[in-house]
Amino acid sequence: MTYDVIKEAVAKQQSGDKKLSTENRILGKVMTFYIGDQIYGIEIQNVIEIIEMQPITRIPHVPSFIKGIINVRSKVVPIIDIRTRFGKEEIPYTSRTCTIILTMDDITVGIIVDRVADVEDIHSGDISATPESRAVNTNAFIQYMIRSGEDVKMILDVEKLLGDEV
Amino acid sequence: MARIEPGMEAMLDMYFYETNSLLEQLDEILLRTEQANCFDSEDIKEIFRIMHTIKGSSAMMGFDNLSVLAHKAEDMFFVIRENPDVITDVSFVYDLVFQVSDSYKAQIEAIQNHVDGEYESMDFTDLINKLLKARDVLLGETSADAVAPAAGTPAAAAPAVETDSDKTTVKVFFEDGCQMENLRAFLLINTIKEECSFLEFTPSDVETNPETSKTIIDNGFLITFKPLDNVDFVLKQIENALNVQSYEVVAAATAAPAAELPPEPKAVAPAPVAASSAPVAAPVAAPAAPEVKEQSSVEKAQAAVEKAQAASGMQKQNLISVNLAKLDALHDIVGEIITTESMVISNPDLEGLELESFNKAARQLRKLTSELQDTVMSIRMVPLAGVFQKMNRIVRDMRKKLGKEVDFVIEGEETEVDKSIVDSLQDPLMHLVRNCMDHGIEDDVQDRINAGKPEKGTLKLSAQNASGEVIITVQDDGAGIDPEKILAKARKQGILTKPESEYSEKEIQNLILLPGFSTNEQVTEFSGRGVGMDVVKANVEKCGGTIVVDSKKGSGTAFIIKIPLTLAIIDGMEITCGDLVFTVPIATIKESFKAEASQIIRDTTNNEMIMIRGVCYPILRLHEKFGIETKVTDLEEGILLLVETDNKSMCIFADKLIGEQQVVVKPFPKYLARYNIKGEGLSGCTIMGDGSISLIIDTNTLIG
């Protein structure tokens, strides 16, 4: 569900089209959050809401990154811990730990993140494709990156995140 | 590929609904009359009318092939109607009309499944030619005995009433919002024109000009006619016509019968949109036209009532059709209200407070919500009659094709179950009925006689309510299942899981429900493709039911399906295990108790069992099964629930009981569908009064 313009921009970037950086249009919005020190982002059209941590009902016989299910206004929503999903070590939940409710093709899930950062515009000039190398284990879930000053924000591919691959 | 005419999409749903109802009605008439082996003139008229309506609406929707087909069928029935005696061999007429009905259904299904307005237009040339031929044959016979013209039609049978040459003018109003008023008016004209020597109507271009609909809605549809023999008869036809809401006689003929009619608008019994209004309204109209029914008016009226009752599967007065999605939404909301109600009433903030008037109000609220819930549930309940009646048709076809004499008995078709369950029951039942007809009933009548059974086989389809469940039985009195054969076949297919000698007769019979099992060496048109019984089983299980086989070699087979009345709300027992709460369906719980050390037995592999009143039951520790950390691991400390399904029992060990609660079953979120949670013994989850989530245990899978 990426905006088509972004796809286009990423493709152009990959093919070395220099025109993009001079144009610098706003292509959409992204919600950013922290896992450890790294900022990640999710395009805003996939985000339903942010809720604080709730008691999670565990479910037997599911992979460890699925923490269980919670009740969001009488809807039962499964919860994924992004840290575990990315193979990072688990840390205790704090008051800043949040659940972001995402949706994609009528599947709804919540993801647990360390803390929510901001909602910001996606400028076409900032977009940068992920490196070809698949050495980094999180790469599989990254759709593209956004550079802003020193920071690099990794925009997640929600489709892959909710996909079957483990 | 053909396209649905633009602008017609909006009407499609109504067209499907109307046409399908008419076709079902047609099937029903055919089945009924075929049994009696004769058409009575009312039935012929009814069939004629159905064909006529279908022709009209199909033409309007632009389905030319359907319209032409109906037209030819109508032509054939026109001949029959004019001279009911022509049919000497009824059966070929039946076969033809059934074929027409089937072709219709197939084409309509094709249109219904259309993508972007495109659909496959079927070719009915063969069938049309057959119809034409049949008509010619019938016509030939007509001219042969033309001396007896129209002897059987009620119009002729009724004593001709002396009518004045005056014409009668009637203003007709159609039901609000029935749409296509102009075509309905045109159909009405077509219906009565046979009975009139003079006919005039305003607006006069109803057939070609859709704009006239508005005029008809505003001013009514004016018909001036001079009847052939009886004003009342025509008026009755107008009154009984589809979608006619009321009519008034503007200028009555001076003849006596018309005077009996009240001059003010006369309301017609509100007929369901598409169902036949004739049988329903007939008893109402009968007194108004006594001359017509003179021969035996009482009997006729009675017959009409019976007919109406026979068709009651489809016909109920004051029906509205509602989109199922809306009902589902309503159902969801009610579920949430019930949950929220518990949240409010047992709110922790209220603890320890003396709240007399609050408690009173809360009690009232609880009463109302439970009524609301019952009502919503009952809305979704539909009788099984619709599905059962369809089996009639299958039995009929197979009876013909296989040449077996079989009586088909239906019992308890008024039993109601949830709509979604009814829908998913149709295929399994169809398969079972076919199986019984094909494999159950003996091929050779001599075998039956030798076994001391009546020549004619019996196939019984019955339904009954039994404590929150509906039991549907398909039973034949055929050859029964031969355990030897089943076992041999199962051995060949390699589906046996334990030594043959350990199988009980019941287990052997139920082997036929396993995938890849089909004992019939010869694959017939109807059954024996190796897929089947396991699909039946899967379908039944999908709607939360179970199926078992009960057969006795030589005296018949019964398939017994047990399905829950509804899937959405169950009575549950809440139990805890560690930090999790589970719900066990109360229907499966036999008892709950604390274990004593002396009752507990361990076998050589350290499997735990418990002895209760001389019976030994296996123990399943919930915390081990689901990998839950709990302090309660001593069997004497926790609680044991004795559960039973399908004659299999075991004890579930949990930490403690919380209590009984009615819970709204929610399926697991879609995202989790890829993990086999259901296969691990959890059927869904539910939101408790305090907002926490409880997991619902599927006792069946847990035991299995």
Q: What is the DSSP string of B76-143?
A: HHHHHHH-GGG-S-HHHHHHHHHHHHHHHHHHHHHHHT-BTTEEPPPP-HHHHHHHHHHHHHHHHHHH
B335 and B397, same domain (yes or no) = no
pLDDT confidence tier of residue A144, bands split at 50, 70 and 90: confident
* B204-213: long-range pairs with CB below 8 Å, 24+: B206/B182, B207/B182, B207/B183, B209/B182, B210/B180, B210/B182, B211/B182, B212/B181, B212/B182, B212/B185, B213/B179, B213/B180, B213/B181, B213/B182
- What's the pLDDT score for residue B694? 93
Q: Where does a domain end: B274, B308, B342?
A: B308
Tell me the per-residue pLDDT of B296-322, one tens digit each, with 9 for 90 and over.
445 555 555 555 444 444 444 467 778
CA-nearest of B432, B347, B421 to B377 is B421
What's the domain range around A74? 46-115
Chain A residues within 8 A of B675 when measuring between CB atoms: 61-63, 66
From B216-220, B378-382, B546-550, B601-605, the region with the lowest mean pLDDT: B216-220
- Alpha-carbon distance B316 to B270, whole Å? 10
B429 and B450, same domain (yes or no) = yes
Q: Compare A94 and B335 and report the one with higher pLDDT.
A: A94
C-alpha Rg value of chain B to the nearest Å: 32
B252 and B295, same domain (yes or no) = yes
Q: Where does a domain end: B535, B564, B593?
A: B564
Determine whether the interchain pair B580/A57 forms a contact, defined as Cβ–Cβ distance below 8 Å. yes
B73 and B43, same domain (yes or no) = yes
B299 and B351, same domain (yes or no) = no
- What's the pLDDT score for residue B37? 67
- What's the pLDDT score for residue B163? 41
- What's the pLDDT score for residue A79? 94
Q: Do the domain assignments include residue A163?
A: no
- What's the pLDDT score for residue B255? 41
A8 and A53, same domain (yes or no) = no
B277 and B353, same domain (yes or no) = no
- What's the pLDDT score for residue A94? 87
- What's the pLDDT score for residue B370? 81
Mutate to test the interface with B, among A48, A54, A56, A57 (most CBs of B within 10 A): A57
- Alpha-carbon distance B369 to B481, whole Å? 50
C-alpha Rg value of chain A to the nearest Å: 16
Count of structural domains within chain A:
2
- What's the pLDDT score for residue B316? 42
B552 and B620, same domain (yes or no) = no
Q: Do the domain assignments include residue A78?
A: yes
Q: Which of residues 51-70 of A touch B (CB under 8 A)?
A: 55, 57-63, 66, 69-70
Ranges A59-68, A147-156, B234-243, most confident: A59-68
User: Average pLDDT, stretch B21-50?
Assistant: 77
Of B335, B672, B694, the CB nearest to A78: B672
A109 and A75, same domain (yes or no) = yes
User: Average pLDDT, stretch A115-131?
Assistant: 83
Is residue B286's pLDDT more than 50? no
- Alpha-carbon distance B278 to B239, whole Å? 9
Q: Do the domain assignments include residue B316?
A: no
Q: Compare A50 and B679 and report the one with higher pLDDT.
A: A50
The pLDDT > 70 percentage for chain B reads 77
B671 and B640, same domain (yes or no) = yes
A128 and A151, same domain (yes or no) = yes
DSSP B347: -
- What's the pLDDT score for residue B161? 38
User: Average pLDDT, stretch A2-27?
Assistant: 66
Is residue B454's pLDDT more than 90? no
Ranges A66-70, B117-121, B214-218, most confident: A66-70
Q: Do the domain assignments include residue B314?
A: no
pLDDT confidence tier of residue B290, bands split at 50, 70 and 90: very low
A101 and A146, same domain (yes or no) = no
Q: Do the domain assignments include residue B131?
A: yes
Q: Do the domain assignments include residue A147?
A: yes
From B381-390, B524-533, B563-572, the region with the lowest mean pLDDT: B524-533
Cβ neighbours of B569 (radius 10 Å): 20
What is the CATH classification number for the domain harbouring A69? Answer: 2.40.50.180
The pLDDT > 90 percentage for chain B reads 7
Torsion of CA B70, B73, B78, B83, to 10 degrees: -160
- What's the pLDDT score for residue A49? 92
B294 and B429, same domain (yes or no) = no
What is the CATH classification number for the domain harbouring B169? Answer: 3.30.70.1110
Give the list of residues 6+ apart from residue B211 with CB closer than 8 angstroms, or none: B182
Is residue A78's pLDDT more than 90? yes
Determine whether the interchain pair A63/B675 forms a contact, defined as Cβ–Cβ distance below 8 Å. yes
Is residue B381's pLDDT more than 60? yes
- Alpha-carbon distance B552 to B508, whole Å? 12
Ranges B133-147, B241-255, B627-641, most confident: B627-641
Ranges B4-13, B86-95, B203-212, B284-293, most confident: B203-212
B409 and B433, same domain (yes or no) = yes
Q: Do the domain assignments include residue A164?
A: no
Count of structural domains within chain B:
5
- Alpha-carbon distance B186 to B120, whole Å? 29
Q: Do the domain assignments include residue B531?
A: yes
Task: State the average pLDDT for chain B.
Answer: 75
From B627's Cα to the closest Cα of chain A, the distance in A is 7
B164 and B273, same domain (yes or no) = yes
Q: Do the domain assignments include residue B315?
A: no
pLDDT confidence tier of residue B348, bands split at 50, 70 and 90: confident
What is the CATH classification number for the domain harbouring B431? Answer: 3.30.565.10
The answer to whether residues B279 and B301 touch, using CB atoms and an 8 Å cutoff, is no
User: Residue holding tokens 């897929």?
Assistant: B531
Q: Do the domain assignments include residue B44?
A: yes
What's the domain range around B334? 324-380
Two structure tokens written together for B71: 């037209």
Determine whether the interchain pair A60/B677 forms a contact, defined as Cβ–Cβ distance below 8 Å. yes
Q: Do the domain assignments include residue A100?
A: yes
- Alpha-carbon distance A44 to A118, whole Å? 11
B285 and B390, same domain (yes or no) = no
Mutate to test the interface with A, among B626, B628, B670, B671 (most CBs of A within 10 A): B671
From B113-117, B329-333, B408-412, the region with the lowest mean pLDDT: B113-117
- What's the pLDDT score for residue B86? 59
ipTM of the prediction: 0.83
Is residue B217's pLDDT more than 90? no
What is the CATH classification number for the domain harbouring B342? Answer: 1.10.287
Mutate to test the interface with B, among A54, A58, A66, A165 (most CBs of B within 10 A): A58
A73 and A15, same domain (yes or no) = no
- Please confirm whether the linkage preceding B257 is cis (ω < 30° from 0): no
Determine whether the interchain pair A74/B336 forms a contact, defined as Cβ–Cβ distance below 8 Å. yes
What is the CATH classification number for the domain harbouring A38? Answer: 2.30.30.40
Is residue B582's pLDDT more than 50? yes
Beta bridge partners of B585: B572
- What's the pLDDT score for residue A3? 62
Tell me the per-residue pLDDT of B467-504, one tens digit each, with 9 for 90 and over.
667 889 999 888 888 888 888 878 877 777 777 777 88
